[in-house]
A and B are shown apart, each in its own frame.
Chain A
Amino acid sequence: EIVMTQSPVTLSVSPGERATLSCRTSQGVGRTLAWYQQKPGQAPRLLIYGASTRASGLPLRFTGSGSGTEFTLTISSVQSEDSAIYYCQHYDSWPNTFGQGSKIEI
């Protein structure tokens, strides 16, 4: 089973600042990586798949990058509504696994 490690655990940013979240996999997964946003009491929402492809309707301030074992989710100019927990997930092999999450505080 591939282990997903996300950092930081919590990131505090001010509106308009840049936020960078990291996801590391215990073995290479190519570009088979997705990112999700989860707000309190809600289901996760797909943001990025294929490491860098934005889901339909996703604001351009969200960018995914990376390959192999190192991936990054960047929010270029954080807005108040971006306060949430962000999870990465690989789908390279079974079972698919998720990271522990990174929380963005505004």
Chain B
Amino acid sequence: QVLLQESGPGLVKPSETLSLTCTVSGGSMTSDYWSWIRQPPGKALEWIGYIYYSGSTNYNPSLKSRVAISVDTSKNQFFLELNSLTAADTAVYYCVTHLYASGWYDSWGPGTLVTVSS
């Protein structure tokens, strides 16, 4: 079973850019889809976007203007960049894998808390 692990800064300043990395182990990235999902404290889950190993992407319209997801299959990693941060971006960020572009989310990383504060 594939394992995922998020990494990145726990604290970012408003207006700055968040950069997160998801490292995949136990399987190849040259199949399946790879998403980022976030969960503000005490709130529901929000899908941010996905990338396919080929590099094709799809983003949530609510975040599309601020987000970019990329992949490096040689390192078994994919990445999230989210710019123009505000306090509303404070959340636990999960990296997730799924079999179909539009489908259920099979395997999740443990998540990383990102706080946006000066």
Chain A interfacial positions (CB closer than 8 Å to B):
1, 32, 34, 36, 42-46, 49-50, 55, 87, 89, 91-101
Whether the Cβ atoms of B105 and A46 lie closer than 8 Å is yes
Q: Which B residues contact A (CB, under 8 angstroms)?
A: 43-47, 58, 60-62, 94, 100, 102-106, 108-111
Asked whether, in the complex, the Cβ of B44 is within 8 Å of the Cβ of A98, the reply is yes
Nearest residue (CB) in A for B92 is A43
Question: Is there an interface contact between A91 and B45, defined as CB atoms closer than 8 Å?
Answer: no
CA distance A43 to B45 in the complex (A): 11
CA of A79 to CA of B62 in the docked complex: distance in angstroms?
A: 38
Cβ-defined contact, A42 with B61, below 8 A: no
Q: Which residue of A lies closest to B110 (CB)?
A: A43
Q: Are A96 and B44 in contact (CB under 8 A)?
A: no
Taking a contact as CB atoms under 8 Å apart, the answer to whether A95 and B105 are in contact is: no
